[in-house]
Structure 1
Amino acid sequence: MIVLGLSCACLAVALAAWISQRLFYEAAQRYQSSFTEQARTELSDLFVFVDLTHLWPALVCGAIGVTLFCWLLTQSVVFALSLGALSVFLPRVALTSALRRRQKRFDLQLPELLLALSGSLRAGASLTFALKSIVQDAATPLSQEFGLVLREQRMGLSFAQTLENLYERMPSESVELVTTMLIVGMHSGGSLAELLERLCSNLCARQHLEGKIEVMTSQGKMQAWIMGALPLVLLLVLSQIDPVSIHLLFTTTQGQGVLLTVCVLETLGVFCLRRILAIHV
Structure 2
Amino acid sequence: MSSVSGLVKTEQLYRSQSGWLQRAFAWCGWENGQVMANIRAGRMLTDYGRYHLSRKQFIFAAIAAALVFYMAAYLFYHSALVSIAAAGFGIIAPRFRRRSLLQQRKERLKLQFKEALFSLTSSLAAGRSLENAFLATLDDLKLLYPDPRTELLLEFQIIRFRLENAEPLEYALRNFADRAGIDEITQFTDALAACKRSGGDLLEVMKRTSAIIGEKLEIEQEIAVMIAQKRFEGRIMMAVPFVFLAFLSLAAPDYMAPLYGGIGYLLLTAALLLLLLCFWAMAKMMRIQM
Aligned to 1:210: 220
CA contact (8 A) 1:248 1:255 kept: yes
**What pairs with 1:32-181 in structure 2 (closer than 5 Å)?**
32-34=25-27, 35-37=29-31, 40=36, 45=46, 55=55, 59=59, 66=66, 70=70, 75-86=79-90, 88-138=91-141, 139=145, 140-154=150-164, 157-181=167-191
Residue identity matched to 2:121: S
Aligned to 2:23: 30
Residue identity matched to 2:154: Q
How much has 1:81 moved relative to structure 2?
2.0
Pair 1:195-2:199 in alignment: no
How much has 1:133 moved relative to structure 2?
1.9
Structure 1 residues 220, 123: CA separation in 2 closer, same or farther (over 3 Å shift)? closer
Residue identity over aligned pairs, in percent, reads: 24
TM-score of the superposed pair, with normalisation by structure 1: 0.69
Aligned to 2:276: 267
**What pairs with 1:208-247 in structure 2 (closer than 5 Å)?**
208-217=218-227, 220-243=230-253
CA contact (8 A) 1:160 1:183 kept: yes
Residue identity matched to 1:144: L
How much has 1:221 moved relative to structure 2?
2.9
Residue identity matched to 1:79: S
Residue identity matched to 1:210: E
What secondary structure does 1:160 align onto? helix
Gaps of 5+ in 2: 1-13
- Distance across 2 between alignment mates of 1:211 and 1:184: 28
How much has 1:94 moved relative to structure 2?
2.1
Aligned to 1:11: none
CA contact (8 A) 1:106 1:142 kept: yes
- Distance across 2 between alignment mates of 1:247 and 1:127: 74
- Distance across 1 between alignment mates of 2:262 and 2:157: 58
Stretch of structure 1 that moved more, 89-98 or 100-109: 89-98
**Cα RMSD for the two superposed structures:** 4.2
Residue identity matched to 2:242: L
How much has 1:235 moved relative to structure 2?
1.5
Structure 1 residues 95, 209: CA separation in 2 closer, same or farther (over 3 Å shift)? same
How much has 1:238 moved relative to structure 2?
1.1
Structure 1 residues 150, 81: CA separation in 2 closer, same or farther (over 3 Å shift)? farther
- Distance across 2 between alignment mates of 1:244 and 1:22: 54
Structure 1 residues 106, 222: CA separation in 2 closer, same or farther (over 3 Å shift)? same
How much has 1:70 moved relative to structure 2?
4.3
- Distance across 2 between alignment mates of 1:265 and 1:80: 21
What secondary structure does 2:181 align onto? coil
- Distance across 1 between alignment mates of 2:288 and 2:168: 37
How much has 1:25 moved relative to structure 2?
6.2
CA contact (8 A) 2:117 2:210 kept: yes
Aligned to 2:10: none
Structure 1 residues 257, 200: CA separation in 2 closer, same or farther (over 3 Å shift)? farther
- Distance across 2 between alignment mates of 1:129 and 1:142: 17
- Distance across 1 between alignment mates of 2:258 and 2:161: 63
Structure 1 residues 199, 229: CA separation in 2 closer, same or farther (over 3 Å shift)? same
Stretch of structure 1 that moved more, 121-130 or 25-34: 25-34
